[in-house]
Amino acid sequence: MAPTLKNYLQDGSTLRSWFLSTDHKRIAILYLLSITFFFMIGGTVVGLIRLELLSPAGDVVSSDTYNRLFTIHGVIMVWFFLIPSIPVTLGNFLLPLMLGAKDLAFPRLNLLSWYLFIGGGIFTLVAVVVGGVDTGWTFYTPYSSTFANSAVITVAAGVFITGFSTIATSINFIVTTHTMRARGLTWFRLPIFVWSLYATSIIMVLATPVLAITLVLLAVERGLQIGIFDPSLGGDPLLFQHLFWFYSHPAVYIMILPGMGVVTEVIPCFARRPIFGYKPIAYSSIAIAILGFLVWGHHMFVAGESIYAMLMFSFLSYAVAIPSGIKIFNWTVTLYKGRIYMKTPMIYALGFLGLFTIGGLTGLFVAALAVDIHVHDTYFVVAHFHYIMVGGMVSALMGGLHFWWPKMTGRLYPEFLGQVSAWTMFLGFNLTFFPQFLLGYLGMPRRYHTYPAEFQVLNVMSSLGASILAVGYILPFFYLVWSLRWGKKAARNPWRATGLEWEYADSPPIKTNFESPPIVHGPAYDYDPQKEVNFD
C-alpha cells in the first residue's frame, strides 16, 4: 500500500515553508490570521467608540481622538477586513479545490498579494501610531486635502498598496475559473460560491484601480497643492466624491457577494436538497456586479448633484435591489421539501437571510429621494450598512469558517459552543444596530462625538448590544483555536456535502489537493432530502 501523503499543514514546518509558500491553502491561512488581527483592532476601536457614546457628553476621549477612532475603524474594517475577508481566506483555500485544480493559476502572485496586503496594513498601522487620521474613511475633500492635521497621505498610501493585493487576487481567481476547471465541470455545474467569487473578482479588477487613482490625486493634492479639489484654485471638491464613490459603491458588492456565495453552499447542505433556481442565482451575481457600477451617485443626493442625476441614480439603486431580492426568495424556497438540520453553519446562514433581508429592505428607504434627504449622514445609514456588512457578511464568514473548518484543519469545532456563539451574535447584533435606525430617523447625525441628551437611552441600548456582540465573536476565536489541538478529528466529508473539495480531497487536503485530477459527472448540489444523514 502506498504511504499516505502528508497533508498541507504537515508538509514543511519551518517559518520559511510558511512565509514563502506558494500553496494557496497556506496562503489562505496566513490571510486568515491577518484579517483576524485587523478585525480585532477594528473591533477594539469600536469598543472605545461605543463606550464614549454611552453618555451624551464627550467625556471618555477628546473630540480629536474620537474622530481618529471612527476613521480608523472604518478604514481597517473596510479595506483590511471586509474586502479581503471571504475571498482571501475561504476563496483562496477553496477555489482550486472546488474546481478540481492543484492550485490557483498564479501561485507566486498569490503570495505576493499577501505581502502587499501586509505592507499596506503596516503603513496604515504606522499612521495610527504617529497620531492617526481623522477624515472619516471617506476622506472627503477639501477637509482631507487642505484642512486635516493628520496622517492622511500615509493611510492613503497604505490603502493604495493593499489595493494591488486585491487586484492580484481577483486576476488569479478569474483566470483560474476560466482555465483550470476539471473535466466535466461546465460553468453551470460550478458551485455558486465560485460564481460569486467570479462576480466579486470582476468588480475588484475594474473598480479598485479607480480607488488607486483617487488616492493618488488626493495625495498629490495634499502634498503638492495641485488644486484639483480646491475651489479657491479652480478645482471641485465634488469631483473627489464622484471618483471615490465610483469605486466605493462597487466595493460594497465586493464585500457582500462572497457572503452570498457561502450562504448558497451552506443552505443546500443543511436542507439536504439542491439550491432552488441555480441559474437565476448565478446570473443575479453577475447582474449585481454590473448594476453596482451604476449607482454611485446615491451617496451624493444631498451633495448638490443635478436633479437628473438624482433621478437616474435613485432608479438604478432600486434596480440593483432586484437581483438581491431574487437570491432571498430562492434561498427561502430552498428550505421547501428539504430535510433541515440546524447545525452551526446553518444558523449563521439563516441569520444572514434574516439580517441581510432587513439591511436590504432599508436600502429601499435610502434609495427613495424624499427619505434619503432626511436620513443621509445619520445613524439610519450606519444601521443600514452594518446590517448588511456585519449582520450579513460577518455572519456568512463565520458560517463559512465553521462549515469548512473540518476541511481546512482536519478538526471538528465543538457544536454546542458554535450554536451558543451564533445565537449570541444574532441577539447582540440586533440590540446593537436596531436602535440606530430609530436614532437616525430622529436626526442623530453620524460621526458625532457628543450628542443631544434625548438620544442617550437608544445609544445605551446600542452599546449594551455591542458588548454582547463582542462575546459572540470572542467565543469562536477561543474554541476554534482549542479545536486545533483538542477537537475531534474530522473525516473527509463530515457534512456529507457535495462538491469536489468534500468528495475527493482529504480533511485537511494534501499539498496538491487531489491524488489524481477529479472528473465531474453531474450538476452541483446533488442532495436527496429523502435520505437521512448522520453527521459526525
Partner 1 sequence: MTERPAYSPGLAHHFETHAQQHRAATLGIWLFLGSEIMLFGGMFMGYTIYRILYATAFEQIAAHTHFWFGTINTALLLTSSLTMAMAVHHARAQNYQKSGRWLVPTAVLGVAFLALKVVEWYLEYRENLVPILGWNFDAHGVAQGPARLFMGFYFVMTGLHAIHLSIGVCLVVGLMVLLRRDKIARENPSKVEIIGLYWHLVDIIWIFAYPIFYLVSA
Partner 2 sequence: MWDFPLFPEQASTAARHVDQVYFALIALSIFFIFSIGGAALYFMTHYHFRRDADRRNVPKSNWKLEVIFIGSAVVVSTFFFFWGAYKYLKISQATDDALELFVLGKQWMWKVQYPEGQREINRLHIPVNQPIMLRLTSQDVIHSFYVPAFRVKQDVVPGRYTTLWFEATKTGTFKLECAEYCGTDHSRMLGEVVVMSAPDFARWLANRPVQSTMVAQGERIFARAGCSGCHTAASAVHAPDLQGLFGRRVALSTGETLVADASYIRDSILLPKKHVVAGYAPIMPSFEGQLSEQEIFALLEFIKFEPALNDAANASPNTEKNDANK
Among 6, 108, 178, 337, binds partner 2 (CB under 8 A): 337
CB under 8 A: which stretch of 143-151, 176-184, 263-271, 395-403 binds partner 1?
176-184
Count Cα atoms within 13 angstroms, Cβ side, for 397: 26
Among 243, 355, 375, 422, binds partner 1 (CB under 8 A): 243
- The number of residues that bind partner 1 (CB under 8 A) is 45
> Which listed option, partner 1, partner 2, none, makes contact with residue 280 (CB within 5 to 8 Å by class)?
partner 2
Cis peptide before 509 (omega within 30 of 0): no
- Closest separation between CB of residue 260 and partner 1, Å? 23
R_g (Cα) of the chain, nearest Å? 23
Does 239 interact with partner 1 (rule: CB under 8 A)? yes
CB atoms within 10 A of CB 187: 12
Q: Which cell numbers hold the place of 304? A: 448638490
Our CA angle for 528, 494, 478, nearest 5°, is: 135
Phi/psi of residue 378, nearest 5 degrees: -115, 180
Distance CA 516, CA 224 (A): 58
> Which listed option, partner 1, partner 2, none, makes contact with residue 171 (CB within 5 to 8 Å by class)?
partner 1
Distance CA 300, CA 235 (A): 18
Is residue 410 within 8 Å of residue 489, measured between CB atoms?
A: yes
> Which listed option, partner 2, partner 1, none, makes contact with residue 337 (CB within 5 to 8 Å by class)?
partner 2
Does 69 interact with partner 2 (rule: CB under 8 A)? no
> Which listed option, partner 2, partner 1, none, makes contact with residue 17 (CB within 5 to 8 Å by class)?
none
Does 167 interact with partner 1 (rule: CB under 8 A)? yes
Site for partner 1 in 97-136 (CB under 8 A): 101-107
For residue 366, give the amino acid letter: V
CB atoms within 10 A of CB 106: 17
From residue 119, how far is each of 105, 115, 155, 159 by CA, in Å?
23, 6, 12, 10
> Which listed option, partner 1, partner 2, none, makes contact with residue 521 (CB within 5 to 8 Å by class)?
none
- Closest separation between CB of residue 449 and partner 2, Å? 5
Does 338 interact with partner 2 (rule: CB under 8 A)? yes
Per-residue x/- mask for partner 1, residues 184 to 223, rule CB under 8 A? ---------------------xxxxxx-xxx-xx--x---
Does 227 interact with partner 1 (rule: CB under 8 A)? yes
- Closest separation between CB of residue 247 and partner 1, Å? 9
536 three-class SS: coil
| Cβ proximity to partner 2, 106 vs 329, nearer residue | 329
